[in-house]
Amino acid sequence: MGNQKILVVDDNEEIRNILHILLESEGYTIIEAPDGETALELVDDSIDLIILDIMMPGISGLDVCKRVRENYQMPILFLTAKGTDSDKSLGLLIGADDYLAKPFSHSELTARVKSMLRRYYVYKGKESTAEDYFFVYDIFKVAKDRNEVYMTDSDGSSTSIDLSELEYQILKLLIESPGRIFPAQLIYESIWNEPYFYSSNATIMVHIRNLRTKIEDDPSKPTHLLTVWGKGYKLQ
């Protein structure tokens, strides 16, 4: 995968130093930003992962995340003292991929970072060929090895859909077995590669909701990605 570059954004210099030392020891290249404005100046296609604090002077981490998502799809990990379920849901809604509350264990942080980078690199784009596509179902065409999804329009033409890596992985998982009901636990453990806890269900719900806004004509009345109450989700 090469020497991945991580952007650490936190107004606390001590936290930045800890993260720098910890992640550099794992072989990553670390660049730092003490505030949101500096972070936005540093973000480019060379960044493989962003670790982002929420509560910062000036531009907040939430605003940084929203602005990054306008142009980039690298994974974003919120690392912050704001650890309530509502804070987590808000962060995921605006485009973050994961959330880790302070204080955090070094082992958990490095595990999250490795998992997010692994997913990002597995599904990162390559040159397109016809053989890249191995799932075509109904109006969807999903590339097998990277985040590339198309929907067939009413006139027969195809429109590209811009999905986050996690949204892509959820759709890809469901399209492998159309009509099969996938419990939340199976989705979480298959995609996040972590043990499922009850609180994990909120994470899945947020990403399902975001995915529906991109593939459904009316996300409030989905016809493709359905909820089977008490059981899970399926692609109709």
Digitized pLDDT (tens) for each residue of the chain, 236 residues in all: 457 899 999 999 999 999 999 999 888 999 999 999 999 999 999 999 999 998 888 999 999 999 999 898 889 999 877 655 666 677 777 888 888 888 888 888 888 888 888 777 765 543 344 444 557 778 888 887 778 888 887 776 778 888 888 999 999 999 888 888 999 999 999 898 888 888 888 899 999 999 999 999 999 999 999 999 999 999 88
CA torsion angle for 236, 175, 172, 183 (degrees, to 10)? 60
Q: Is the CATH code 3.40.50.2300 the one for domain 5-122?
A: yes
Residues 6+ positions from 236 with CB-CB distance below 8 Å: 178, 179, 223, 224, 225, 226
pTM of the model: 0.58
Neighbours of 32 (CB within 10 A): 18
Q: Which structure tokens are listed for 43?
A: 């973000």
Q: Is the bond leading into 103 cis (omega within 30 degrees of zero)?
A: yes
Q: What is residue 146's DSSP assignment?
A: S
- Note the CATH architecture for domain 130-235: Orthogonal Bundle (1.10)
Domain ranges in the chain? 5-122, 130-235
221-224 long-range contacts (CB < 8 A, ≥24 apart) are 224/138, 224/139, 224/140
